[in-house]
Amino acid sequence: MVTIDRNNNFSKIQQVQIWNNNYAFAYPALATNFCTGEVGLSFEFDGNGNYENHVVEFWGDFVAYITTGTNVGTNRYGDYVSIRQAPATADNSGNLFSAFGYGLNTVPPPKTGTQTDVHYVLFGRPASSCVVIK
């Protein structure tokens, strides 16, 4: 990821990687929450004995929260991972992200094969300065 200075001819301020020795990260989707100013991430990870799973996190926390419980591997994975700022409503002051991802699980016997484990995730942090719609 690159941070640029829009007021200085888009010069690069910093460049960082989403990286870990033990895991692979793929299909990142990012969104900015204008209420809190945070960047949310929705992506896939695997490795170190784990199958592909969907995770979400806040940029800079360096903690990914697993949303799926995949128990089978595949040679194609990761389509349709997304994240957006959740619209402000009477119950949500605009401080939340809505993310979408999935995992794969084996089909319970006597059937065989895999089934998709789809997850819609709503996450965020308290934001006292956000506007509440009434």
In-domain check, residue 59: yes
Which pLDDT score, from 0 to 100, does residue 84 have? 94
In-domain check, residue 115: yes
Which pLDDT score, from 0 to 100, does residue 133 have? 57
In-domain check, residue 65: yes
In-domain check, residue 7: no
With 0-12 CB in 10 A as exposed, 13-18 as middle and 19+ as buried, what is 27? Answer: middle
In-domain check, residue 14: no
Domain count, the chain: 1
Which pLDDT score, from 0 to 100, does residue 134 have? 53
C-alpha 67/C-alpha 123 separation (Å) is 11
Sequential pLDDT tens for the chain (134 residues): 888 999 999 999 999 888 888 888 988 999 998 888 889 999 998 888 888 899 999 998 889 999 999 998 887 776 778 999 988 777 777 789 999 999 899 998 999 988 988 899 999 887 666 765 55
Cis peptide before 110 (omega within 30 of 0): yes
In-domain check, residue 119: yes
In-domain check, residue 129: no
- Residue range(s) defining the domain that contains residue 86: 22-124
In-domain check, residue 8: no
